Chains A and B, each alone.
Chain A
Amino acid sequence: SQQGEEDPQALSIQEGENATMNCSYKTSINNLQWYRQNSGRGLVHLILIRSNEREKHSGRLRVTLDTSKKSSSLLITASRAADTASYFCATDFTGANNLFFGTGTRLTVIP
């Protein structure tokens, strides 16, 4: 399978804590993207990191990419109840026509 795999499958934290999710993949990528999906809604793009980048920030989000380990992590700092959602990594593999989505991490932030 070319899709990325997120870890953990589910995560429950208290509001204000940080949440970290990981994504591992198997082949070379052009870029890796993170998306959020609230229950019953479509996916929303969060951040894109290219294969020659190691870290990117966007507000309370921090994404890292380690191409030698074929892994990425998404850190959400100072979490809020509104961050409760499923988070997916999507990999743009070299030579592929499209993105491959993982199975997601279900994040629950308890107020």
Chain B
Amino acid sequence: EAGVAQSPRYKIIEKRQSVAFWCNPISGHATLYWYQQILGQGPKLLIQFQNNGVVDDSQLPKDRFSAERLKGVDSTLKIQPAKLEDSAVYLCASSLERRGHTQYFGPGTRLTVL
């Protein structure tokens, strides 16, 4: 089965610019997650979708970050405007259901904000 796909793999932007990341989860997986992983730290959940509804976005900086999952499949995460501290790897993951299930991760997008 195909894994979680993410694009782009790398992105370099200047502060105050906007950027968007795309994720295609494993087919049939109802739950989709976006994580932020700062260098040297573990992944931190930004937002969790169950189908096309938001389950948890308590850690999402909503003044600059937004995410959507149209039709309950693909998802996009946007940052506008970017700050220096947004430099990180953005990981997308999916799982069959929310609780007690393995999460499958994509390769991530490494964002550098200059």
Contact = CB atoms under 8 A, between A and B. Distances in A.
Interface of A: 3, 30-31, 33, 35, 40-45, 48, 50, 88, 90, 92, 97-104
Contacts of A48: 100, 102
A98 B56 contact: yes
A96 to B, nearest CB: 9
B106 A104 contact: no
A101 B105 contact: no
A47 B87 CA distance: 30
B104 A92 contact: no
Contacts of A30: 99-100
Given A41-B107, A42-B91, A43-B91, A99 B45 contact: yes
B91 A98 contact: no
Interface in B20-77: 33, 35, 40-45, 48, 55-56
Nearest to A48: B102
14 contacts: A30-B100, A33-B103, A42-B4, A42-B91, A42-B93, A45-B102, A45-B104, A48-B102, A97-B48, A98-B55, A98-B98, A101-B35, A101-B42, A101-B44
Given A3-B42, A42-B4, A103-B41, A98 B102 contact: no
A98 B56 CA distance: 8
Contacts of B48: 97-98
User: Could you say which of A45, A92, A99 has the most chain B C-beta atoms within 10 Å of its C-beta?
Assistant: A99
A29 to B, nearest CB: 11
